Amino acid sequence: MLGRELAAEEHAARRAEGHTEAAGEPLLAFEQVGRRGHIEPFDLSIQRGEVIGMAGLLGSGRTETAEVMFGIKRAHSGRVRDVEGTDGGKGADELHLRGPRDAIAAGFGFAPEDRKTDGIVAELSIRENIILALQARRGWMRPIPRAEQQRLANDYIARLDIRTSGAEKAIGELSGGNQQKVVLARWLAMNPRFLILDEPTRGIDVGAHAEILTLIRELTAKGMAVLVISSELDELIAVSDRVIVLRDRRQVATLVGEEIGLEPVVRAIASADTHTEEAPA
Amino acid sequence: MMPAGVKRVLPQLITLAVLVALVSAVFPDFLQLHYSDGRLIGPVIDVLKRGAPVALLAIGMTLVVATGGIDLSVGTVMAITGAVAAAAIVAGHGLLWALGLALAAGLCAGLFSGCLIAFLGIQPIVATLILMISGRGIAQLITEGRILTFNLPAFSFLGSGHLLGIPVPVWLWLAAATLTVVVVRRTALGLLIEAVGINRRASALTGINARVILLAVYMISGLCAALAGIVTTADIRGADANNAGLWLELDAILATVIGGNSLLGGRFSIPAAVIGALIIQTINTGILLAGFPTEYNLVIKAALVVAILVLQSPLLAGDLKRVAARLTRLRHPAPATKKERASP
């Protein structure tokens, strides 16, 4: 867990940076999207260059929300509009997310919570894991040339500081933090518009923690929108422009700007009725 | 350093060489080759030819096994496709129709199993069991319960003909294996198959169309079974719904496993599986040539297969390495610590 001073520092640095030229342009709008038994209908508009934090207790519907957004579980209600590049949302395209392939085609990326079962393909090499999404998008008929694969792999190994003896090592042999970096590299190679990170720093050593938070900042500076789900509130507060709080499969609060802080978030997570005793301090 | 491709099939090549040496020891003429009447003749050529059906099946089986699946239906699909080809010829259609219909029947069989597995989520062993059981009935319906014999030299050529002195079935499995290797390795298909086999859920989340991949491997397997059925039917100039391809699905699975392909899915090698098919055929032919009483055949075959699998087992390989390391230490005792280094 990050020290609180570090968190505050991150936060301040983030605010000081101000908005990049792309930030604030509307990108996507989820309108009354929901799935019975999984997540109550919610509204969420996403802007370029924005980090949205999602907080809530275990079982509050955070991962379910991400899965509905990425098309893994189909929404039963609502619609998703692709607002970018259209005038004030007029004539905006509606996105039909029937599966991850649709979401990926729309420029989404998703690094799942359970790296081992949902993220990595353990026996494949780092190189193969990095190019996998890119190759899936190109289709099996158009293989990425080997030289290009190697260039991509070496590029991301250097850029994300992935600790490995080489790109041909099986990803299963890496440490958790380095596996997570490879999964991130896989999506960065796709140059997504909207990246969903579910517990990106779980089970990762402190050094890699900080690196991943820094990376999120760099990505949003280039205009990418990122949704971060995390149980580590210090970290969530440090990195987010906006924090959404879920409770009982429902969005109960949205905190922006000055409101983002440990106490308001904890209060929203735990407020009123249930679960108070389980709230993390 | 030898190329990675050769290194991968080295255990299979060594096994095959040892078996050939064993068979030669009890039957010294095993490696003899004659050239007469424009064709090569000899026990080795016989192995290459008789191994054709299992070699063809092993190509498709390897891809299916790489996805973590299994195809029990290939033996009966051979019977179905053979019956379709024979029925087409008996009905007066030509070579192309017979081939086209038989291959289409194989594709349909693969499509059926593939749909059950990819779209309905039925376990591969159960889904392909359906066709394994019902397939002989389908073949009998096509042949109307008889052994359908035919006389079409162009078709028989595929089973018993020769090209450049080599039996045509040998060319067929060589061509099918080469073509499949080129297709899966020169495109991204091989990588996508391996990814789905290792972790289907993670693969689907990266945008791989896992369903289409599964459908494709069962259809390729059906196509390979159709080719094997054509070769068998053409060789005996007749379709025998009861016996064509009987139990060959098990030999095909065995060939794939001897080829070092894990039934759990993942990394695969088609050349190794095809060599595995030749290993099985060498055992079959060798037992016959060695002149053992026929009732010993299956037991000897089983003993040899067990020996091969034990020698290839990764656990044993680890043990051998440790034993070798200990022997070198005994011979050159290390000075200070005896502590084994724990894996980092």
What does the alpha-carbon distance between residue A82 and residue A90 come to, in Å, rounded to a whole number?
10
A148 in contact with B at a CB cutoff of 8 Å?
A: no
- Environment class of A23 (CB within 10 Å of its CB; exposed 0-12, middle 13-18, buried 19+): middle
User: Is the CB of residue A58 less than 8 Å from the CB of residue A261?
Assistant: no
The pair of structure tokens assigned to B145 is: 């319960």
> Which residues lie across from B149 on neighbouring strands?
B238
| Shortest Cα–Cα distance, A80 to chain B (Å) | 19
What does the alpha-carbon distance between residue B278 and residue B299 come to, in Å, rounded to a whole number?
19
User: Is the CB of residue B248 less than 8 Å from the CB of residue B53?
Assistant: yes
B202 in contact with A at a CB cutoff of 8 Å?
A: yes
Q: Do B199 and A140 touch (CB under 8 A)?
A: no
A198 in contact with B at a CB cutoff of 8 Å?
A: no
User: A189 to chain B: nearest residue by CA?
Assistant: B206
DSSP state of A199: S
pLDDT at residue number A118 = 93
Question: B67 contacts in A (CB within 8 Å)?
Answer: none
List of domains in chain A: 4-107+192-278 (3.40.50.300), 117-191 (no CATH)
Question: A100 contacts in B (CB within 8 Å)?
Answer: 204-207
| Shortest Cα–Cα distance, A133 to chain B (Å) | 5
- For the segment B261-278, what is each residue's pLDDT rounded down to a tens digit? 999 999 999 999 999 999
pTM equals 0.88
Q: Which amino acid, B252? A: A
Question: From the list A72, A101, A140, which residue is nearest B187 (CB)?
Answer: A140
Quote ipTM for the complex.
0.86
User: Is the CB of residue B54 less than 8 Å from the CB of residue B300?
Assistant: no
User: A144 to chain B: nearest residue by CA?
Assistant: B188
pLDDT at residue number A13 = 55
Q: CA nearest B205: which of A194, A65, A70?
A: A70
Strands B166-167, A194-198: pairing kind: unpaired
What does the alpha-carbon distance between residue B27 and residue B97 come to, in Å, rounded to a whole number?
43
- For the segment B196-212, what is each residue's pLDDT rounded down to a tens digit? 999 999 999 999 999 99
Task: Report phi then psi at A253, rounded to 5.
Answer: -160, 150
Residue A202: pLDDT above 70?
A: yes
The pair of structure tokens assigned to B227 is: 């080719």
Q: What is the rounded average pLDDT for all residues in chain B?
A: 90
Listed in sequence order, the DSSP H helices in chain B are 4-26, 43-50, 52-66, 74-90, 95-118, 124-143, 153-160, 168-186, 189-198, 200-205, 210-236, 248-258, 270-290, 297-312, 314-331
How sure is the predictor about A120, in pLDDT bands with cuts at 50, 70 and 90?
very high
What does the alpha-carbon distance between residue A146 and residue A125 come to, in Å, rounded to a whole number?
13
- For the segment A216-249, what is each residue's pLDDT rounded down to a tens digit? 988 998 889 999 999 999 889 989 999 999 998 9
- For the segment B210-236, what is each residue's pLDDT rounded down to a tens digit? 999 999 999 999 999 999 999 999 999
User: Is the CB of residue A212 less than 8 Å from the CB of residue A184?
Assistant: yes
User: B203 to chain A: nearest residue by CA?
Assistant: A121
User: Is the CB of residue A240 less than 8 Å from the CB of residue A253?
Assistant: no
Q: Which amino acid, B236? A: I
Question: From the list B188, B199, B206, which residue is nearest A140 (CB)?
Answer: B188
- Environment class of B342 (CB within 10 Å of its CB; exposed 0-12, middle 13-18, buried 19+): exposed
- For the segment A62-99, what is each residue's pLDDT rounded down to a tens digit? 999 999 999 999 999 999 988 875 545 455 588 889 99
What does the alpha-carbon distance between residue A128 and residue B314 come to, in Å, rounded to a whole number?
24
- For the segment B108-138, what is each residue's pLDDT rounded down to a tens digit? 999 999 999 999 999 999 999 999 999 999 9
Of A186 and B324, which is predicted with more confidence?
A: A186
> For chain A, how many helices (H) and strands (E)?
9, 10
Question: From the list B187, B194, B208, which residue is nearest A143 (CB)?
Answer: B187
SS3 A28: strand
Residues 82 through 141 of chain A touching chain B, CB cutoff 8 Å: 99-101, 104, 110, 112, 117-124, 128, 132-133, 135-141
What does the alpha-carbon distance between residue A104 and residue A97 come to, in Å, rounded to a whole number?
9
List of domains in chain B: 8-291 (1.10.3470)
| Shortest Cα–Cα distance, A123 to chain B (Å) | 7
